[in-house]
Amino acid sequence: MQIKVCGLRSPENIEQISTLDVDFMGFIFFKRSKRFVSNSLNKNIINEIPSHIKKVAVFVNERSEDVLWTLKDYEYGFDYIQCHGDETPDYCKDLRDLGFGVIKAFQMDEEFNFDQLDSYKDAVDYYLFDTSSKHYGGSGQKFDWSLLKKYKGNKPFFLSGGIKPEDVNQVQNISHPQLLAIDINSGFENEPGLKNSKLIETFSEKLKQHS
């Protein structure tokens, strides 16, 4: 099982986390987030992250021109764009047709209709299932993971939303064939945007032991 650490900001913290066994790092470009990268992140920091760790730029309902300007500022050093709002299949497909990897987040609740994923299947690389919240992401809340049984598609997905260090055994026991990665964020922080490397190291070691 792979791990994505999302919502990093400071150069020292990014360097520290990049020494761990993690597979994706996410950076929030949503101004209303407590984890917005603002000016703390420059292109050298992104480009110095080892290439085996995939870099993900997270946006929420951003105009695609602004997404492209941001990516250009970072000399296209990101491997994936994570669309974490209400982006349409066409919006995602346009970015993918330009050559970017695309992860599309979906807000999960009891009402979620998995049939809607069909229209995204040729427009994105991965799905990401997060808990429904009015702030879009970073809610610290889990959704009912038994809903995952309803997902019968063949596109791999990230599991996200309120995952905490003590969830490691439960997460390991999810046997869904398309579960690619666990996306961790606020449950592993000393403060918003500052990740606790010890907690992530322990979680990663345990998660990867049997996978």
Ligand X SMILES: O=C(O)c1ccccc1N[C@@H]1O[C@H](COP(=O)(O)O)[C@@H](O)[C@H]1O
28 binds ligand X (CB under 6 A): yes
195 binds ligand X (CB under 6 A): no
Report yes or no: 10 and 35 within 8 Å, Cβ to Cβ: no
Report yes or no: 177 and 145 within 8 Å, Cβ to Cβ: no
Least distance (Å) between residue 128 CB and ligand X: 7
Query: For ligand X, what does the binding mask look like between residues 142 and 161, x meaning CB under 6 A?
Result: ------------------xx
Least distance (Å) between residue 123 CB and ligand X: 19
CA-CA distance, 145 to 131, in Å (whole number)? 10
As to burial, measured by CB atoms within 10 angstroms (0-12 exposed, 13-18 middle, 19+ buried), residue 11 is middle
Phi, psi of 69 (to 5 degrees): -65, -45
DSSP 90-126: HHHHHHHHTT-EEEEEEEE-TT--GGGGGGGTTT-SE
Host H or E run for residue 71: helix 64-73
34 binds ligand X (CB under 6 A): yes
Q: Which of 35, 54, 104, 195 binds ligand X (CB under 6 A)?
A: 35
58 binds ligand X (CB under 6 A): yes
55 binds ligand X (CB under 6 A): no
84 binds ligand X (CB under 6 A): yes
The window from 26-34, 39-47, 68-76, 167-175 that contacts ligand X (CB under 6 A) reads 26-34
Nearer to ligand X, 41 or 161 (CB): 161
Measuring CA to CA, which residue among 162, 207, 181 is closest to residue 23?
Answer: 181
Least distance (Å) between residue 35 CB and ligand X: 4
Give the interface with ligand X as residue ranges (CB under 6 A).
6-7, 26, 28, 30, 33-35, 58, 60, 84, 130, 136-140, 160-163, 183, 185-187
